[in-house]
Structure 1
Amino acid sequence: MKILISNASSDPIYIQIMNQIRQSILSGELVAGDSLPSIRQLAKDLQVSVITTKRVYEELEKEKLIDSVVGKGCFVSGANQDFIREQRMKRLEEKMLDIIRESKELSMTEQEVINHFTLLFEEENTP
């Protein structure tokens, strides 16, 4: 798992870290049962405060994306696959809305968008 912190970003550091870990989980890069670095190790690796990484893990635990096991560490949650699927669907819908907005700017009809999407879908499924 690679996390990049941007000083140019308007987002606070903990949000940047949290979003990147969340994305790794939702994309399937991190799967149920995968262990995360300890709070202290992540803070050291990213050169941030332990308080920052503790807050990240607490927020991800509230979202039920990770589980904290006393004495063992933090792990990607396997108990809530429906929630993860729902979050991924939500992100997909946001991307689809972006496509709809952009297609309107290009004066494309709904059918043109569907036809174009169908073509791309078929190309993606061709070996």
Structure 2
Amino acid sequence: MWIHLSNESKDPLYKQLKDQIKQQIIDGTLEGDTELPSIRTLAKNIQTSVITVKRAYSELEQEEFLYTRAGRGTFVKATEKRILQQKVEKQFETEVDRLFQLGASLGLSIEEMMTIIQRLKEERK
């Protein structure tokens, strides 16, 4: 498991850690039932606080990407690729909905928002 946290990112450290672990689960780098480092070990390895790792692990457990066995450790939850994909799509839908709400509050129409998205898509090519 490779993790890189940046103090220059707009995202808090726990979210960076959570997102990186989640991505490694989704792309298959971390397979089901793989044991993750203990909270203290990972905190030491990536030079962050125990609280940061604990929050990332806790949120991933709430989202059903991880599970914890008392006295044994934290593990990647074995989940079918299809279910993982559904979780990812649901999370994306939530973010898109949030952006649509923001756009509407700024007075943008759906068409204007879609034009912006299309422009950004073209710029990324």
TM-score, with length taken from structure 2:
0.69
**TM superposition shift of 1:86:** 1.0
Map Cα deviations across residues 8-50 of structure 1 (whole Å, 9 max, x no partner).
1010000000000000001111110111000010111011111
CA distance in 1, matches of 2:40, 2:84: 26
- Match of 2:118, as an amino acid? R
Distance in 2 separating the partners of 1:4 and 1:50? 16
Provide the C-alpha distance between the structure 1 equivalents of 2:121 and 2:71, rounded to a whole number of angstroms. 54
Unmatched segments (≥5 aa) in structure 2: 96-113
Q: Find the counterpart in structure 2 of residue 31 from structure 1.
A: 31
Partner of 1:101: 118
- Residue 6 of structure 1 aligns with which residue? 6
**Partner secondary structure for residue 101 of structure 1:** helix
Kindly tell me the number of residue pairs found equivalent between the two proteins. Answer: 101
Residue of structure 1 equivalent to 2:20: 20
1:83, distance to aligned residue in structure 2 (A): 3.0
TM-aligned CA deviation for residue 65 of structure 1: 0.2
Matched, 1:76 2:76: yes
Aligned in 2, Cα 1:105/1:29: closer, same or farther, shift over 3 Å? Answer: closer
Matches within 5 A, 1:82-97: 82-89=82-89
How many percent of aligned residue pairs carry the same amino acid? 45
1:105 Cα shift?
Answer: 4.8
Name 1:114's counterpart in structure 2. none
**RMSD of aligned alpha carbons:** 2.7
Structure 1: 5+ residue stretches without partners? 107-127
Which has more radius of gyration? 1
